[in-house]
Amino acid sequence: MSLQDVVIRSRQARLRGCLALPDAPGPHPGVVVIHEAYGLNDNIRDITGRFAAEGYAALAVDLFNDRSRVICLARLMGEAMIGREQYAVPHLRASADFLVAQPEVDAARIGVIGFCMGGGLAIAWGCRDRRLRAIAPFYAMNPRPLSAARGICPVVGSYPGKDFTARFGRKLDARLETYGVVHDIKIYPGARHSFFNDQGKAHDPAASADAWDRTLTFFAEHVRSAPVSP
C-alpha cells in the first residue's frame, strides 16, 4: 500500500489531500474520506490507509486548507444548517474527479465515508451525485430538507447512542425505509461522539470494529461489486 500527499484542484481552491493506493494492480474501486472538525489529521490518514489495505483506492480531502480552520468550519457548518452546501460539495466533486482520474481507479465504483461534519457532507453529496454507489456517514447530521434523501444512493450509517446525532440516525433510518432506499443504520447504545476515532478519548473498540465490518460488507456489495467501467 502506498500513501502520498497530493494537491486537488477545485474551481474555488487548491486542496490538500492524502491518496492511498493498494499494492495490487487496478482498476480498484474508490473511496473518498471526509474528515470531521479536526481536519485531515493522522486518524483520517490512517482510515484512508485502511481502505487501501482492503483493496480500495482511497482519497482523503482537506476542506480546511485554503483559509483558516475556524473560518472554513464556520462556513461549512452554516451552510449545512440551511441545506446549502455550496462550498463543500463542489470541493468533494473535484476530489472525486481527481480520484477517478487516477489510472488505478475505476470511475464507476466510488463510495464515500464521512465523520460528524464529514458525515453530514457525505449525505448531502450522496443526494446530489449519481456517481456515488454508497455512502457511510458516522455520527452525522441530516440534510435539510430531509426529503432530499429520496434519491440518495445506498447508505450504511453508524451513530453513537450517547450523542445528539442518534436522533438524526433514527430519523434517517425511518425516512430511507419510507423511500425504499437500501440502507443499514445502526445506533450503538453505549458509544459517544467520535467513537470511531481510535486516537481520541471517546474511542469505543467494540462499536468501532462492528461499524468497520458493516461498512466493508456494505461497500463490498454496493461499491466493489458494482459493474466495472467498460
CATH number at residue 210: 3.40.50.1820
pLDDT at residue 82, rounded to an integer? 43
Count the domains in the chain: 1
pLDDT digits 0-9 by tens, 25-66:
889 999 999 998 888 999 999 999 999 999 999 999 998 865
The more confident residue out of 82 and 12 is: 12
Residue at 143 is within a domain: yes
C-alpha distances in Å from residue 183, one per residue of 158, 218, 224? 11, 9, 16
Residue at 230 is within a domain: no
Angle at 96 between CA 144 and CA 214, to 5 degrees: 70
Residue at 187 is within a domain: yes
Residue 77 has pLDDT above 60, yes or no: no
pLDDT at residue 86, rounded to an integer? 55
- Residue 167's domain spans which residues? 2-224
Residue at 211 is within a domain: yes
Residue at 116 is within a domain: yes
Residue at 81 is within a domain: yes
Residue at 67 is within a domain: yes
Exposed, middle or buried, 74 (CB in 10 Å: 0-12/13-18/19+)?
A: exposed
End-to-end distance of the chain based on CA atoms, in angstroms? 26
The more confident residue out of 81 and 25 is: 25
Residue 70 has pLDDT above 90, yes or no: no
Q: How far, in Å, CA of 62 to CA of 156, rounded?
A: 23
C-alpha cell at 166: 442518534
Residue at 229 is within a domain: no
pLDDT digits 0-9 by tens, 134-184:
999 999 999 888 998 998 999 999 999 999 999 999 999 999 999 999 999
pLDDT at residue 15, rounded to an integer? 87
